Amino acid sequence: MRPGPETAPSPAGDPRLQALLRDLGDQVRPGGGPRFTTPPLATGIPSLDQLLGGGLPAGRLSEVGGPASSGRTSLGLSLLARTTLRGEFAAWVDWADAFDPASAEAAGVDLGRVLWIRPDGIETALRCADQVLRAGGFALVGLDLAKANEATPRIPASTWPRLRKHAAATGAAVVALTASTLLGSAADLGLEFGTAQPRFGEGPDWLEGLDTRVALVRNRAGRGSGQAPVSFRTIRAA
Amino acid sequence: MLVPGLSLAAALRAHPEWQGQPIAIMTGSGPRAEVLAVSPEALEHGVRLGQTAVHARAACAELLLAPNDPALERAAREALRDAALSTSPRVETAPPETGAYVAEAALFVDARGVEALFRSETGFASALADRARRLGLPAVVAVAGSRGVARIAARLAWQRNEGLCVIAPGEDAAFLAPLPLDLVNPSDALADGLGRFGLHRVGDLLRLPEKALTTRFGERIRPLLALARGTQQAPPPPVPENTRFEEATDLEFAAAQIEPLLFVLRSLLERLAERLACRGFAWGDLVLELGLEDGSRDVRRVGMAAPHLDLRVSLRLLDLALQAQPPRAPVERVTVHTTGTEVRGDQLDFFRPSGPPPAALSRTLAELGALCGEGRVGAPAVADDHRPEAYAVRDFVTEQKPHKGPPQQTTVTTTPRSLAIRALRPPVPAQVRAPHGTPETVFSALARGDVVRCAGPWRTTGHWWNEEERYAYDHFDVQTSDGWVIRLRRDWIGRHWAIDGVYD
């Protein structure tokens, strides 16, 4: 009779191991190394954070779209404020050249923790985002692609996977503000702002704020739809 | 701490590929230039100090002639000082010598209390010599009870081809006694006089009464006696901290392209990096000075977002600065200086995230600056100006303020959600119908239609004292029938309307 192939005795059946596992109880978990997950980036808007299950995903691409005067930029500034007040750094790639420091400061943004980049063209803007993500250390990288009075830019399809790869490596939340859907299926999360209703005060007439609704149009990680009411107030009204 | 031929050492520090070759450092580059220093290999071939280039070449056909570069020599002297300052805060530059020792550079370093750091005086001396060697300088270190004896001991160690010489405390006189008087470097006339009296060794001098010696040789014998008796024992004064590091070189041929310039810059930065590392500093802001062929100078300052230790980052930053604006004429001379800054750890705060790594951030900022242009990358700031379009951009730095305890989350959650305005740079011109002072219809490249709601005006005026800069605006917050909520402004000076912001 030919001897069979030699096999190592299975340790699972060892009574000593069984006893050790019994003693250690919950302290022993399946292998594969510890799994660290970066918490989502809260927007600071309770209704929206509830819809998103905590906030925008870190290490992922998110698209915030909508028409002009719908509240996209206010959401962007709210994200910047949350990030910087936590002591983290953020980068704002401002292709639209629309970032207003006074408005950002009023929104609570710690301007010293924001790297403001104003590229000339869309290709440069994407290269800048790429560079910032590769440098690492930024919790939020905002891309303002909602240029007023300009057609939706053409962006090579290979751009978004590359940005996503860098975002995943550094744990940065990449948020693109767009006028119309630009990332599409490349985004891990998509938010669409509806047409906003401005609120004007009575008496001394002033603009008090905007009321709008945000729809969750895409979410790779969880629930794929839903809406949340959102209000923003002007500095004077606040 | 002594470097016997500083000009030669400085040249070899800048050109390590010359090691082992017969080299002569000349007083200039013309045919009348004389040999200032020679390498041992050249000396073996019969090249001597004071020869002209023709004579030196006749003695050694393979002789490499290099003109003396004061900038290299100055940098070498500073590097020697850095090596000394890395071990002791009390360092003094020795006065220049004459005669046979004119080419030497010496430093006096206070060695008191060094046993705590280096275990022994020998350990201290070898550490000092090792640090100088790492900076490209073949220094000899001698430890003695006085400066003069230490200098003589260092000369002797060099002549004996020894790197170190440590004289035990109280043994200075015994050490000096058998040494020839030449090592004390008397003037030629004094050496002749002493020889005629049969005094050839330091011990001979010390045995005679001072009065008898001064009667015969005059006051000029006193410094020699002081030196031999080791009376210069006061410690050097503490040195005010100097954190400026400079390296420079003259180019043999003017460089018209950036690539050869980068080759030179790499070499300069490598030497600076060694010096910074020796003193425990990181790279600060860089200043690049280029001496151009047309006689002008081109000075650039390259800021660092944060101190870092990466030589490649500094080189890349200079590369980007040169690529962004190449020199207007071929470059003849290159000087780089930086301010040594404290090394920053990546993790600054136990409770806060560390932020971008300093080296990566500096490189990224430079690359972003090259991509976007000057003034288009930085930290935004609110300008000290009432004009709505005013803003400022500051340097983006990641230095963090000391922070006690974890960040207060409550301040984050209570921040009001503020309505943002998107700036329009430049403002978009608009045609506005306002028969009663407030806008009723708007026609522009953005918003067009009837005004649904309007708030305002809010008047802003300023710089009325300056004809060119004065402004007077009336601002209106306007909702148009096509869904825009805009900030409309009426310019009273330009007499036109424009949209300078969109609420979003």
Q: What SS3 string covers B289-326?
A: EEEECCCCEEEEEECCCCCECCHHHHHHHHHHHHHHCC
Cβ of B484 within 8 Å of Cβ of A68? The answer is yes
Whole-angstrom CA distances from B85 to A21, B88, B141 are: 59, 5, 14
pLDDT of residue A141: 95
Query: Omega before B307 cis (within 30°)?
Result: no
**Top-ranked range on mean pLDDT: pick from A221-225, B170-174, B339-343, B452-456:** B452-456
- Give the largest CA-CA distance in chain A: 104
pLDDT (tens digit per residue) in B301-316: 887 777 778 888 888 8
Q: How far apart are CA B260 and CA B334, in angstroms?
A: 12
In this model, does residue B121 exceed pLDDT 90?
no
Domain that includes residue A51, residue range: 46-233
Q: What is the CA radius of gyration of chain A?
A: 24
Nearest to B425 among A97, A200, A233 (CB): A97
- Quote the pLDDT of residue B304: 78
Q: How far apart are CA B414 and CA A41, in angstroms?
A: 16
The model's pTM? 0.66
Domain covering B244-342 assigned CATH 3.30.1490.100 in the classification: yes
| Number of domain units in chain A | 1
Instruction: Please report residues of A whose CB lies closer than 8 A to that of B356.
Output: 89, 135-138
User: Is residue A172 exposed (0-12), middle (13-18) or buried (19+ Cβ within 10 Å)?
Assistant: buried
Apex CA B451: angle with CA B449 and CA B454, to 5°? 155
Q: Considering only the beta carbons, identify the residue of A71, A209, A230 that sits closest to B504.
A: A71
The length of chain A in residues reads 238
Examine residue A13 and state whether it is found in any structural domain, yes or no: no
Q: Is B389 on the interface with A (CB under 8 A)?
A: no
Is the CB of residue B208 less than 8 Å away from at least one CB of chain A?
A: no
Distance from C-alpha of A75 to C-alpha of A230, rounded to nearest angstrom: 9
- The kind and range of the H/E element at A219 are strand A207-219
The answer to whether the Cβ–Cβ distance between B364 and A132 falls below 8 Å is: yes
Question: Which of the following CATH numbers is that of domain B2-139: 1.10.10.350, 3.40.1170.60, 3.40.50.300, 3.40.109.10?
Answer: 3.40.1170.60
Q: CB–CB of B456/B487 below 8 Å? A: no
Q: Given this model, what pLDDT does residue A53 score?
A: 86
In a domain, A37, yes or no: no
Cis peptide before B457 (omega within 30 of 0): yes
The answer as to whether A10 is a domain residue is: no
With an 8 Å Cβ cutoff, are A106 and B418 in contact? Answer: yes
Chain-chain contact of B380 with A111 (C-beta, under 8 angstroms)? yes
pLDDT at residue B479, as a whole number: 92
B399 interfaces chain A, CB cutoff of 8 Å: no
How many Å lie between the alpha carbon of B420 and the closest alpha carbon of chain A?
5
| Per-chain mean pLDDT for chain B | 85
* DSSP result, B28-67: SSSTT-BEEEE-HHHHHTT--TT-BHHHHHHH-TTPEEEE
Per the CB < 8 Å rule, is A148 touching B477? no
Pairing of strands A61-65, A189-193: parallel
Does the pLDDT at position B83 exceed 50?
A: yes
Model confidence pLDDT, tens digit, residues B387-418: 888 899 998 887 655 555 555 544 444 445 78
Please tell me the number of Cα atoms within 13 Å of B476 on its side-chain side. Answer: 24
Q: Which residues of A touch B403 (CB under 8 A)?
A: 87
Q: How far is CA A104 from CA A80, A164, A211, B10, in A?
A: 8, 26, 19, 55
**Could you tell me the CATH number of the domain that includes residue A143?**
3.40.50.300
Residues of chain A with pLDDT under 70: 1-12, 26-27, 29-37, 149, 203-205, 223-224, 235-238
Q: What is the pLDDT of residues B485-501, one digit of tens each?
A: 999 999 999 899 999 99
Instruction: Check CB contact under 8 Å for B419 and A210.
Output: yes
Buried b (16+ CB within 10 A) or exposed e, B433-468: ebeeebbeebebebbeeebeebbbbeeeeeeeeeee
Predicted pLDDT of residue B410: 41
Chain A: nearest CA to B418, how far in angstroms? 5
ipTM: 0.83
pLDDT of B421? 92
Q: CB of A104 within 8 Å of any CB in chain B? A: yes
Per the domain annotation, does A116 fall within a domain?
Answer: yes
Best probe of the A interface among B418, B452, B479, B486, by most A CBs < 10 A, is B418
Chain A residue numbers touching B306 (CB-CB < 8 A): none
Contact A148, B502 (CB under 8 A): yes
A171 touches chain B (CB under 8 A): no
Cβ <8 Å between B412 and A137: no
Q: Are the CB atoms for A213 and A227 separated by under 8 Å?
A: yes
Of the partner residues A82, A103, A119, the one whose CB lies closest to the CB of residue B372? A119
pLDDT: which is higher, B283 or A152:
B283
Q: In the prediction, which pLDDT does A35 show? A: 47
Residue A174 in any domain: the answer is yes
pLDDT of residue A2: 46
B411 interfacial to chain A (CB closer than 8 Å)? yes
Q: Where are the beta strands (DSSP E) in B135-285?
A: 141-143, 164-166, 244-255, 281-282
pLDDT at B286 over 50: yes
For the segment B323-344, the average pLDDT, to the nearest whole number, is 87
| Residue of chain A nearest B444, judged by CA positions | A149
Percentage of residues of chain B with pLDDT beyond 70: 93
Nearest-by-Cβ selection for B360 from A88, A119, A135: A135
Minimum mean pLDDT among A99-103, B43-47, B110-114, B150-154: which range?
B110-114
Question: pLDDT: is B393 or B233 the higher one?
Answer: B393
Residue A36 has a pLDDT of 45
Instruction: Please list every residue in chain B whose beta carbon sits closer than 8 Å to the beta carbon of residue A118.
Output: 372, 376-377
Rg (CA), chain B: 34
Instruction: Note which residues in 448-477 of chain B have CB less than 8 A from chain A.
Output: 453-456, 477
Spell out the domain ranges in chain B: 2-139, 244-342, 421-503
- Beta-strand (E) ranges in B318-447? 331-339, 341-342, 377-381, 392-394, 421-433, 441-444
Considering the domain boundaries, does residue A193 fall inside one? yes
pLDDT score recorded for residue B112:
84
Cβ <8 Å between B422 and A100: yes
Tell whether A181 is covered by a domain: yes
Question: Strands of B297-302's sheet, edge to edge?
Answer: B244-255, B331-339, B286-292, B297-302
Report which of B407, B316, B299 is spatially closest to residue B361, judged by C-alpha positions: B316
Q: Is A26 an interface residue toward B (CB < 8 Å)?
A: no
